[in-house]
Structure 1
């Protein structure tokens, strides 16, 4: 593509290369060496190569940490940096603000206010669960209701990424680290939790984007519809499926003929967005999925434009003013 027209809603930034490498060793992933240390010029180069006009930045999904000033400072530092970058490159970057651990409800509410009102963030980035091990809580937990209520009041956009949480067993192979084998299922578990607890229906004004085409969500939604109803969920199977279909789904590391065919059957076209996951992956890896997307919609310029650009413009109207 000669002209940069795409809008990438899944684009990370890393402020601490040493910490990122350390975390990579813990989760079984290698961020491409050429992307560390990260600098905005690396993203701009990738965006030009991939035909991307604007990337919506979000911090890498991290373990939530303990309640306290350090956790709040982490969120504020990343959000302030992203806002400054958007001011320098207003047509090239937007950002989803991160929050301190949601277990710090007061801190999370404060950062929502600061990020959306003062830093002019395009939305909020959340991970699937907060806390460690058996003490972790998924994002539909009752204690997080004040946060969802505020996001609903603001009609906020939320970018939801699966946490890099190990299962009860080690990941199966060095080629199948947590980002490959666990993160997609964590996204599904968070989405399903929001549905069966009624949070997705209770807060309908929050527009939630699920990373990586929702991970395993499209393929397990029908399983939840019947089995969770059997286990006591008060929603009907039809209501459960309806709520799953109300999420938005972005294509990073998921665009393939099989998955895109399933998504066309599962959600309206205007609920599919374009993403790359750069710089967690290389330009070449992102290009493979982007080429798949191009090939899938070959001959239908209207659909391709909707997925790669127009749907994001409708969801993030600030971008239309650039």
Structure 2
């Protein structure tokens, strides 16, 4: 019986992890939530009679996992208030597909691209826990409001209103838009790298949206801006300064294209001037041929596992 329970749960683990990560913005917290879901599942359904009463296993697991995430979100708001500097989610970094990795794909076009990438996770931090849960479940995973109401212990009408308020916040005019497919992201990031290499401010500004925003999260381990940098010229100056100050690094800069939360970005690594290894994951939001958001994650506590570099992975990144 335990083996059957485990097999059923493992078939849903990927879905539950995706739900929890969208809600929590933390891979480690998401995995903890999924593990807690398994413990509750095994405890509640070890009785065959109780298991037979569950008509939709995915719905039951999603509801249980979402309630766990809701409790985590409510406690996380207190922790985030004392976080040093700006906060970004833990990135999920995966290798770019080796074959036609940037080619437009009908399946990719079928997915709402503004639901992929770090930009959405950053915006979700603005929401109240109940709004975030309602939005993620309905708008990202198409969970009906009747089920969401069970998660939030409210009415379907109230759940719908929570999702609507969240949607307005997520699509607000000050939110970085991310609508480009991987092929367009590759073109824009290649132009971005070329502009950075040129060192020309005007050339870099052309690649950035006028209202571009840049956020950096070092967790207090490395120097980073304590507030978002906003505007094409301000962001361009900051980036040129970052890449131009070679004196702060004691080793070569390694770089490779990766997928960051499903969108194209860069994984980089070098040696800081005090001898520490500095790892950096840069994520981007791209809309209408320009970069609308730059998200730099350099907190080592949020970068525990990254794909290994190859012998040719050096700055500027090779596509």
Structure possessing the higher radius of gyration over alpha carbons: 2
Normalised by the length of structure 1, the TM-score is 0.25
